[in-house]
């Protein structure tokens, strides 16, 4: 019989403690609703995808060109064969790495060795 009173009655008929519980639950549901509605779904079109791929390709091409220009610039730096031999022997690294490091430091053996030890 008490259950029928709650079901058929109004919220005013409910005990205060139960009303607070219901209000707390409703507030949590409202908060959850706000969070879930935050992200708006958008459709990705074929054109958007093509633009993104194109932008990535352009960036890669630009980076490749910059790398080629840097390599070309490094090849212009003159280095001594004795310096390369010294670095290869002392550091026990490949000749290619020794030459590249030496070119990056404009033929300065000391700075190249410091870089290779770090």
**How does pLDDT run across 25-72, given as a tens digit for each residue?**
556 666 666 665 555 667 778 888 999 999 999 999 999 999 999 988
Q: What is the pLDDT of residues 71-105, one digit of tens each?
A: 888 888 888 899 999 999 988 999 999 999 999 99
Domain for residue 90, yes or no? yes
Q: How many domains does the chain have?
A: 1
Q: Which structural domain range is residue 89 located in?
A: 77-118
Tokens of 21: 């519980």
**Higher-pLDDT residue of 9, 91:** 91
Domain for residue 117, yes or no? yes
What is the rounded CA–CA span in Å between residue 81 and residue 78?
10
Domain for residue 118, yes or no? yes
Domain for residue 91, yes or no? yes
pTM exceeding the 0.85 threshold for the entire prediction: no
What is the rounded CA–CA span in Å between residue 21 and residue 87?
77
Domain for residue 37, yes or no? no
Asked whether 44 and 53 are in contact (CB, 8 A), the reply is no
Domain for residue 83, yes or no? yes
């Amino acid at each position: 019989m008490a259950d029928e009173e709650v079901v058929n009655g109004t919220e005013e008929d409910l005990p205060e403690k139960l009303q607070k519980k219901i209000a707390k639950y409703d507030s949590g549901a409202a908060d959850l609703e706000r969070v879930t509605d935050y992200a708006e779904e958008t459709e990705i079109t074929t054109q958007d995808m093509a633009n993104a791929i194109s932008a990535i390709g352009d960036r890669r091409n630009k980076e490749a060109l910059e790398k080629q220009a840097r390599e070309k610039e490094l090849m212009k730096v003159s280095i001594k064969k004795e310096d390369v031999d010294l670095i290869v022997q002392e550091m026990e690294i490949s000749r290619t790495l020794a030459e590249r490091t030496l070119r990056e430091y404009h033929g300065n053996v000391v700075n190249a060795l410091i870089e290779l030890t770090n």
